Every structure is written in structure tokens, then in C-alpha cells.
Structure 1
Amino acid sequence: MSKLGLWWVRWNGSDYESRMTVGNRKATVEDFRERGFDRIVVLSGEGRGIKYSGPFYNSGYNDGREFARWVSNHIYGMPLYITIPFSRPEGFPRDQVQIPFEYSGVNSYYKGWIDGVLSVDNTDLNGFYWSYESCLQTTSHDEAHVTKEFIQYMSNYIRNHDQELIWIPTIGDRTMDQIKTFCAIPTLAGYFNHVFVQPHYYQTTKLSDGSDYTFQELACRVEWMASKGLSIEMEADNSIIGEKSNCAYCKSIQGTWEGDHFKEKVGCDENPTSETEEECINRACDYYRAITEVNPSAFSTKAYYFGTDLRVVDRVRSKCPDW
């Protein structure tokens, strides 16, 4: 049984910096360990917060090596997965994904990144995290046009280096029929050592057809995950402790923007009432309740998104200790 905690970092223009805190202080690996996490995923969304040197020769290698050096100096003492950044800071893919991982004797940016990471001696490195979250990739509906051949090459290359490859795709606010019809997660799962599906239940109360995203609908998705041999990402965020989300990718989920801050649809804000705070915590706890109702043994390994402050984990577990 393992619990993977997401550790968010960002490039500040001159160096990387950790975004993880416990209140007013920077979080440490020990803070993760004290909360039951035994593996760490070091990431920055789909890659927008990761340095991009440009599309020139060996830039992937140099960027990956620089990132891996920072990680080895700042996050150590626990097995970890390092992100493979899919997007540039402006959102476009860092390289082509319609071609093999290595083509015409030229490495793709992504292969170069992996080689750069592997060039840094880090005994904590357990594998890589494929950061492109779309469940549509490799289908005709994928805007980035990622091919199954690309995923296969990447998977084989990483596994041939005795490393794992994990993925945390989102199903968004799709209905179950849409998930079964359009999402390629079960088809691609064999290329990954672990797949943790984002239910997106915490982020919205409505599905794409206008119906309510109820606990029963969450349980249906958890049952689908179990039947396909998939795991789950547990979801909460800083709004549970009275802070608004402030992440670049949040524009894609339901809610409202106030300046640079995103207000979740579930109703938490900077000055939550006891009612809205309780609603948010209950919605986060519903993940564990759904797992318990479906099949707890099917989810012995889980990933956890909880924003950037580990007090979120403490607050949720004050209501549901087994979260």
C-alpha cells in the first residue's frame, strides 16, 4: 500500500522553488512522511511552471538535468517521481507527439528530458510522471494529437532503464457514457505502472449534461476504475483552509475568477463560513466513502492532490481520518 503526495514546484525566472508549505513555513519531506505519504511526485501542472530553454538541440537534456539537480538538492529521503513536462510556459507542447520517441536519429525534447534527469545520480528516483492529463490522448478527439506509438516508445524507454512511469489523467465533468465512449485511459493503462484517475468531483457539482455530480455518480466512477484495474487521485485544495486556489490550469474547471484567484464551485473562499467549509471537507471525504462502498482493496495505492499546503491534509483527516 502506497500514498503518493504531489509536490508542486515552479520556475521563478532564475531558479526553481518549492510551492509546498505547512502554514507559514516551507514543507519538508518529513512533513509528507508524518502524514503517511511514502512517495512523492514532483511536478508543476502539465509543465507550464517548468523552465523551457527552447526548441534547439539538446534543450530537453539540459532542462531535465537542471531540474533533476534541483530536486536532488531539495527533495530527498523518499522515493520520488519526476515530471515529464508536456507543455511550454505558454501552453503549447514542447515537441511533436505524433512521431516516435526517437526519430531519424534525433531525440525528441521529451526523450532528451528523460536522459537529462537520468544523468543525475539520484538514488531516490523511482520513475517519471507523464504530465499530460487529457484522457482523450491517442484518440481522434485529442487536440495535441498524441499517438499511441509515442506513449509506447516513451514507456519502453523508461522501463528499459528500470524506472516506473505513472499517469494521473482527468475525466473532468464528463458523464459516464462519455467516459466510456471517448476516454482512452483503459487502453493506455498497460503502458504505465500506475494510473491514478482524477474524478474531478471536488472541483465541480455539475456534469457536462447539466445533471448533478452526486455521490452516487462518484461511486459509479470509482466502480469503473476498480473494474479496469485503475487507481484514484484523492482531491482537495487550499480552499479547505480558507485560501483561494491560485493555479494556472484552474480556468478549465467550474467556478469563478476574482482577480488572479479562482473560487471553486463548491463555495469555499478566503473567508469561508462554517457551512461552506464543511461542504468542502465533506466533498473531499466522499472520495474515501466511495472507495469504501465499492472495494477498498482495489485502491491500496493512491495519489493525493491537496493544493500546496499540507494543513489541507490535516483538515480533511480531522473529519475522515482514513482519507
Structure 2
Amino acid sequence: MANFGLWWVRWNGSDYESRMTGTLEEFKGLGFDYAVILGQPAHIQYTGNAETDAYNLSEYLSDHLNMPYYVTIPFFTPSKTPRGNITGNFEGSYWERWIYVFTGSSDPNLKGFYWSLENAWIFKQDQLNIKKGISHELIKAMSQKIHDAGFKFIWIPSASTPYLEGTNIFPLNTSGCHNCPGAYEFFDYIFVQPNYYLAKGVPNISGYNDFKEYLRKLESLKSSHHAWNVYLEMEADECVIGSGGNCRTCSNTLNCTKLAGDYIKVQLDVLGKRYTQRAYYFGVTFDVVKHVDSYCRSNLGVPYV
């Protein structure tokens, strides 16, 4: 069993810095085994030179991240355009050179890579047309490169839809995605974001019974495709402690806390246990995790992390 916690950083113009509210030791104390290093597009340095960009982040992490981690592979530039040719060759691409720098580092804490494009329809032609997708041939080559170097590869796609079979998490054969493979084939772990907690105005998965059906659908698709590396992402943010965030009812702290706890409850109800692999988004505030943990222990009889 392993717990992955999202650890946010930003480039301040001369160096990287943590956006988290606490220390790495506190983060470990919350129960996280791995840090997933990521940042908003504007927070990951972009000079156009992948070697420079990767080296600066690699040096920062080597100096400051004394725990096992997965590092982001940035998709977007600060202006939200792709950092490379989304249908081109992987060899020689920005992404290949970024990975090369990290795999050549001597940091023993680097365990793998995180693919930062969250689009669950990643391979569809309409997403390629608007430059919010990438070819599966490129992801396949990227996966091969990472695995050949002895590292793992994870993805946390956003899928706020009950129609999970229509995403590229699983194989798809439509006019917009002819014979597209399932992305699960290329990743060691996929943590699906249901956006039950985050997304507003998604009525099809707005209630707890709908959330149970969502998880049952996910499990059915996993079984039919033997995709046992697919899990859920736990989603909570500062709304549970009365601060700003993305909860669908952010003004109601008690309800947001319940919604966050539902990620554990739905696993207990549908699976009879928690997933053995879990990834956690909680904004940048450790008190979010502590608050939801207290709720889960009191109301569900299990810890949150």
C-alpha cells in the first residue's frame, strides 16, 4: 500500500520554492509515502530549453526533497500552449529531453514521473485540434523511455463524467478516436479524478448514490480490461476549513467535509475496503488533511490517509 500526496512548487524567477503550508517532515507525518511534485503551468520554469528547465527543478528537488518523489513532466507553457509537438516524434522532443535530465540525475529519491496533462480525453482528435491532447504514440514512447530507465509513470486524469468508457483511460474506438488504446496500458498507476467534490454543475454525479455508481462503473471497466492499476484520487481543499477552494458548496464547511469523506466512504461501501494505492489532492494546506482525517476517524472508523 502507498499514499501519494501532491506537493506544489513554483518558480519565483530565480529559484523554486514550496507552496505548501508545512514542512516535509509534517507531510510525512500525515501518512504520505511519496510526494508528487507539480505546479501550475506558470509555476514551472519555461525557457524553451528543456535541459535548463529540468536541471533547475532537479537541483532544487535534490537539495530540498528528502523523501521518495515523482516529478512532473510539464505539458503546458506559462501561456498554456504545449511545450512540444503533440503529434511529433518523442525522440528529441522537449519532453524526451526533460526526462533525460532527470533519469541522468543521481538523486536516489526520484522514483518516477507524473504526466501533468489531466485531460481524460487525451488522445481524441478534437482535443488534439485544440492542442489540449497528445498522440498515444508519443505517450507510448514516453512510457517506454521511463520504464527502460527503471522508473515508474503515473497519471491523474480529470474525468467528471459517468461515461467513463468514453474517456481515454480505457480503449476507445469512435470517429474522434479511432482505435485509441487505453492510457492505462502506459502508466503504472492512474488515479481518476471524479470531480464529485470539485466540479460544480455536474448533476449526473451530484449525489452519493451517483458516486457509488461511478465507482462501480470504474471497477467494471477495470475488470473487463484487466486494468488493475486504476484507482481514485482523494479530493479535498481549503473549503473544509472555511477558506477559499473549489468545493461544489464551498460556503458550507460541514457539507464540504462530508463530501471529502465520501471518497473513503464510497470505497468502503462498494469495495469493502480502501484502495491499496491512493493519491491525495488537498490544496496546499496540511490542516485540510488533518480536518478530514478527524472526520473519517469519527464517522467512518478509518483514517483518511
TM-score for the superposition, normalised by structure 2: 0.87
- What aligned pairs does 1:245-260 form with structure 2 within 5 A after superposition? 245=245
CA drift at 1:97: 1.4
Aligned to 1:273: none
The answer to whether residue 61 in structure 2 is matched with residue 71 in structure 1 is yes
Aligned to 1:308: 284
Distance 2:200 2:78 in 1: 30
- TM-superposition CA deviations, 1:84-105 (whole Å, max 9, x none): 0111011111111102211xxx
How many residues are aligned here?
278
- What aligned pairs does 1:168-187 form with structure 2 within 5 A after superposition? 168-172=156-160, 174=161, 176-177=162-163, 179-181=164-166, 183-186=167-170, 187=182
- TM-superposition CA deviations, 1:20-44 (whole Å, max 9, x none): 01xxxxx222112211111110101
SS at match of 1:320: helix
- What aligned pairs does 1:213-252 form with structure 2 within 5 A after superposition? 213-227=206-220, 228=222, 229=228, 230-245=230-245
Contact 1:67 1:117 in 2 (8 A): no
The answer to whether residue 250 in structure 2 is matched with residue 267 in structure 1 is yes
CA drift at 1:150: 0.4
Aligned to 2:106: 121
**1:35/1:96 Cα in 2 relative to 1: closer, same or farther (>3 Å)?**
same
Distance 1:298 1:242 in 2: 27
Aligned-residue sequence identity (percent) comes to 35
Amino acid at match of 1:92: T
Aligned to 2:151: 163
CA drift at 1:294: 1.2
- What aligned pairs does 1:275-290 form with structure 2 within 5 A after superposition? 276-290=252-266
CA drift at 1:116: 1.6
Amino acid at match of 2:104: S
- What aligned pairs does 1:103-122 form with structure 2 within 5 A after superposition? 107-122=92-107
Amino acid at match of 1:318: S
- Structure 1 segments, 4+ long, off by >3 Å, are none
The answer to whether residue 94 in structure 2 is matched with residue 101 in structure 1 is no
Amino acid at match of 1:185: I
CA drift at 1:189: 0.3
Distance 1:169 1:128 in 2: 14
Amino acid at match of 2:65: I
Correspondent of 1:146 among 119, 134, 157: 134
SS at match of 2:154: strand
Correspondent of 2:26 among 31, 35, 55: 31
Q: CA RMSD in A?
A: 1.6
SS at match of 1:185: coil
Contact 1:226 1:295 in 2 (8 A): no
The answer to whether residue 118 in structure 2 is matched with residue 133 in structure 1 is yes
- In structure 1, the gaps of 5 or more residues are 22-26, 246-262, 269-275
- In structure 2, the gaps of 5 or more residues are 171-181, 223-227, 298-302
Distance 1:295 1:87 in 2: 36
